[in-house]
Amino acid sequence: MEEKIKELRAAIEQASADVTDKARLSDFWQKYLSKNGEVAGLTKSLRDVPKEDRPAVGKTINEFKQWAEAQYQALSEQVEKAALEARNAAETVDITMPAKIRQTGSLHPITLVKNEIIDVFAGMGFEIYEGPEIEDDDHNFTRLNVPKNHPARDMQDTFYVADDIVLRTQTSGGQIRVMDMEKPPIKVLAPGRVFRSDSDATHSPMFHQMEGLVVDKGITLCDLQGMLDKFVQALFGADVKTRLRPSYFPFTEPSVEVDVSCFECGGKGCPLCKHTGWIEVLGAGVVHHSVLENCGIDPNVYSGFAFGIGIERIAMLKYGINNIGLMFENDLRFLKQFED
């Protein structure tokens, strides 16, 4: 038995030198210390030892087994340490190297202006509603009092998805949906993308609008101008004034074009205002009684005003942008000018 233990000790010592990873450590355990391993085989061979010698031989086998398990424990710690060192080496960061520069983004000028407009009107108690971009004819035209023969319905101006389904030409359809869902008093902004078949330096087939609606008892055109005064002063400066000019929109009566006194020259006349002292910024008016009736609101009890702002136009005026296409080309040289 002593000879077997001596040979097995030598074999274990030799095998220990080859254990360098977890796979070989597992093989070592299976071969020598598992239930069917060679060390366990020594215990089984006790049956061949005379009874009087078994206690002494058993003690020797147990001592050897403890030595073999200690060898395994030492190997296990050695393998764990080597694995940790390899992992640390792979994850080493050279703090002397220049850091990777990750460019931070910034908000698009359209988003900047949109947020600024929303902040102004939210301070006046307006809620925000974003309607669908694909709209039906009923919400986009009919209930807004746009007649069947109106030029806006022509294929040249409107993108038709089907006979009575369009890419919305204005966000006014959202105002109709709000009036269907809510009863006056109503104060709502309807921002979003709109689509028209138009493209040049100041127009784009896709652009952004911000339309507003107020419906309550006793609402007049004076309320509209007072609100717009506060709006343009917040956007362009405290000295800016508004001017209303008669116009026509099917969904408002009376309708007006809204100008602001030129914030560049103070109304004296310059290239920005084409030497008139005024800049057109939006269209508005008193909500047509037919539009109220179409939404189940009694025009004899309630009145309202509505307005529509082109967000790109405001951005172009505010930041001195001379071509609307620049805002859709994703040119970083252009966009970096609006970083905080």
What are the contacts of 195-201 at 24+ separation with CB within 8 A? 195/133, 195/159, 195/167, 195/168, 195/169, 196/157, 196/158, 196/159, 196/169, 197/155, 197/156, 197/157, 197/158, 197/159, 198/157, 201/322, 201/323, 201/324, 201/325
Reading across the β-sheet that carries 160-162, which strands appear in turn? 134-136, 165-167, 160-162
Task: Indicate the DSSP class of residue 47.
Answer: G
- CATH of 110-338, picked from 3.10.450.40, 3.30.930.10, 3.30.9.90, 3.40.50.150, is 3.30.930.10
The binding site consists of 253
- pLDDT of the residue at 300: 95
10-residue mean pLDDT series, the chain (340 residues) = 77 84 86 81 74 77 83 88 86 78 85 94 94 93 88 78 91 94 94 87 86 96 94 91 93 94 88 91 95 95 96 91 89 85
- pLDDT of the residue at 118: 95
CB 153 within 8 A of CB 141: yes
- pLDDT of the residue at 110: 94
The binding site for Mg(2+) consists of 253
pTM reported for the whole predicted model:
0.67
